[in-house]
Amino acid sequence: MTGTAIVVGGSIGGLFAAAALSAKGWQVRVYERSPVELAGRGAGIVTHEKLISALEQVSASTRNLGVSLTERVAFDKAGNVVHRMHLPQIVTSWDRVYQVLRQTLPNGAYQQGRSVVRFDDRGDSVRVELDDGMRDEADLLVGADGFRSAIRGQMLPDVTPQYSGYVVWRALVREADFPEDLRNTVFPHFGFFLPRGTQIIAYPIAGPDNDLRPGHRRYNIVWYSRVDPADLPGMLTDTAGTQHTLTIPPPKVRDDVLDAMKAEAERDLPRLFVRILDSSERPFFTPIYDHQSPVMAQGRVALSGDAACVARPHVGMGVTKAADDALALADNVSAQGVKDGLMAYSAERVPASGEAHHLARELGAQIFYEGAADENRDGRDHPVRDWVMKTTAVYPGGHRHRPDPVSGQVLVPCRTPCSRA
Ligand SMILES: Cc1cc2nc3c(=O)[nH]c(=O)nc-3n(C[C@H](O)[C@H](O)[C@H](O)COP(=O)(O)OP(=O)(O)OC[C@H]3O[C@@H](n4cnc5c(N)ncnc54)[C@H](O)[C@@H]3O)c2cc1C
């Protein structure tokens, strides 16, 4: 069965949905709010076999996808290696995944600068209204409009993102600017710093235009830092005094917020990461939020990707989860028609999203675990370091549960949406 579909949001989740539906013969129109081509979001993306296979299924290129890594390495505060682990993985960039998906869509199917404001499910079709007053109608509507989704806001007004209590600072360093003495020991690896109260993961990715040549790549730093909820509005206020809700565009982050971040880095991070940060382009931060929708479809309307559920970045799963949503959506509506297909889609994807969401929260909790004030400040003795290192940004096949640090027993998996803070 095929038909017409409107996809709201033209980022990776929307592109995957559009590509998967198009591959099954659906006629798709994508409306993306941003008036300019999207670029550079999220910087580094860790890939999984599932993601590569999903790209292949929608006929997107996986050639030269990213940088191949073989080893994970944890450093202590003094810069010594405290743990090594063999874990081959390809790390790519947000831009690369966006580009290969974008190329799968025919011209005219993707409209930029078009914002959908509401939908009307009319039973035998669904109609959307855009901010310029234009209307469009189709058999199926997919809300792939991110964690602040307007489509979810109308469908499930009680589901709102909750602030986790910490932010992620991200920065990119050009390989040519990377400190010379750290190029062989730090640059080639998936690096960790795992003290109690903060966390760094960092790895090399392609350079601009997917340049994979040694000397032309970049190094991607991801640094989780606690920010009291009372301090967040101040950090989200720009130089003009405008307070942004939920996130702030990177160029608008105030210099004094960056200065405070640098002082914190000097205090808490290994010297080697401070030096790498000093060599980076302007760092930017994103508060970490959680939400999980109890259903991912109603009537003729589906939610996918971050609009449906956010798995915190620790699992490196956002893109793969969006791909899994897209493939399941296209399979189900093509096999069973829109209404039955969407019910099957929701039944399949809510538990799967819940697993990624829950595992991500468990990983996040391991940054701020209970302990004495000075425990593991040097990053040498994380109680479940091995689990954190082999679970971070690894596809949760079989759901690896954190062993209890005292008994060594594996905790019972939680298969329901998690409600703990
Ligand atoms: C620090 C960090 C690291 C990450 N690392 C990884 C990783 O290693 N691996 C991984 O898989 N994932 C990772 N992710 C997650 C990943 O980036 C997202 O989960 C993924 O991009 C899914 O995005 P999406 O398309 O669902 O939503 P978004 O990327 O938020 O896109 C939503 C789109 O909808 C558009 N839009 C919004 N409202 C409207 C409207 N009303 N009308 C029209 N358009 C609209 C927006 O402009 C936007 O383009 C990471 C995230 C972070 C923050």
pTM (global) more than 0.85: yes
pLDDT per position as a tens digit, 175-196: 999 999 999 999 999 999 999 9
**Among 26, 25, 54, which residue's Cα sits nearest to residue 140?**
26
Report CA-CA distances (Å) from 313 to 92, 288, 349, 357, 392: 15, 8, 19, 10, 9
Which pLDDT score is estimated for 111? Answer: 96
314 alpha carbon – ligand 1 mean position (Å): 15
User: Angle between the 255-268 and 271-278 helix axes, to the nearest 10 degrees?
Assistant: 150
Which pLDDT score is estimated for 372? Answer: 86
Residue with CA at minimum distance from ligand 1 atom 51: 313
307 alpha carbon – ligand 1 mean position (Å): 9
Question: Which residues, including other chains, have CB under 8 Å from residue 131's CB and lie 6 or more apart?
Answer: 114, 115, 116, 117
224 alpha carbon – ligand 1 mean position (Å): 18
Question: Measured between alpha carbons, how far is 107 from 2 in angstroms, rounded to an integer?
Answer: 20
Question: Measured between alpha carbons, how far is 60 from 93 in angstroms, rounded to an integer?
Answer: 15
Question: 60 near 101, Cβ under 8 Å?
Answer: yes
| The CATH number of domain 67-93+161-288, selected from 1.10.10.10, 3.40.50.1820, 1.10.540.10, 3.30.9.60 | 3.30.9.60
| CB-count burial class (<10 Å; 0-12, 13-18, 19+) for 380 | middle
Residue with CA at minimum distance from ligand 1 atom 42: 115
Question: 147 near 9, Cβ under 8 Å?
Answer: no
Atom index in ligand 1 nearest the CA of residue 321 equals: 11
408 alpha carbon – ligand 1 mean position (Å): 36
* Domain ranges across the chain: 4-61+95-160+292-363, 67-93+161-288
Question: Which residues, including other chains, have CB under 8 Å from residue 153's CB and lie 6 or more apart?
Answer: none
Question: Which residues, including other chains, have CB under 8 Å from residue 119's CB and lie 6 or more apart?
Answer: 126, 127, 128, 129, 141, 151, 154, 301
Which pLDDT score is estimated for 396? Answer: 73
Question: 195 near 78, Cβ under 8 Å?
Answer: no
Q: Ligand 1: residues whose CB is within 6 Å?
A: 8-14, 31-34, 38, 42, 45-46, 115-116, 144-146, 150, 168, 170, 222, 286, 305-307, 313, 316-320, 322, 393
Taking the chain (421 residues) in runs of 10, the rounded mean pLDDT of each run is: 97 97 97 87 81 95 93 98 96 91 92 97 98 97 97 97 96 96 96 97 92 94 97 96 92 96 97 97 94 97 98 94 98 98 98 95 94 91 96 72 50 37 29
pLDDT per position as a tens digit, 249-303: 889 999 999 999 999 999 999 999 999 999 998 999 999 999 999 999 999 999 9
Q: Which of 7, 32, 96, 131 to mutate to test the pocket of ligand 1 (most atoms within 8 A of CB)?
A: 32
Tell me, yes or no, if the two domains 4-61+95-160+292-363 and 67-93+161-288 fold the same way: no
CATH number for the domain running over 4-61+95-160+292-363: 3.50.50.60
Residue with tokens 């008994």, as numbered in its chain: 407
339 alpha carbon – ligand 1 mean position (Å): 26
Helices (H) and strands (E) in the chain, counts: 10, 18
Strand order in the sheet with 140-143: 110-112, 27-32, 4-8, 140-143, 301-303, 297-298
Q: Which of 12, 46, 119, 152 to mutate to test the pocket of ligand 1 (most atoms within 8 A of CB)?
A: 12
Which pLDDT score is estimated for 38? Answer: 83
Q: Give the helix ranges, DSSP H, for 90-241.
A: 94-102, 150-155, 232-235
Question: Measured between alpha carbons, how far is 90 from 66 in angstroms, rounded to an integer?
Answer: 6
**Residue 357: in which H helix or E strand, if any?**
helix 338-365
Neighbours of 118 (CB within 10 A): 13
Neighbours of 290 (CB within 10 A): 19
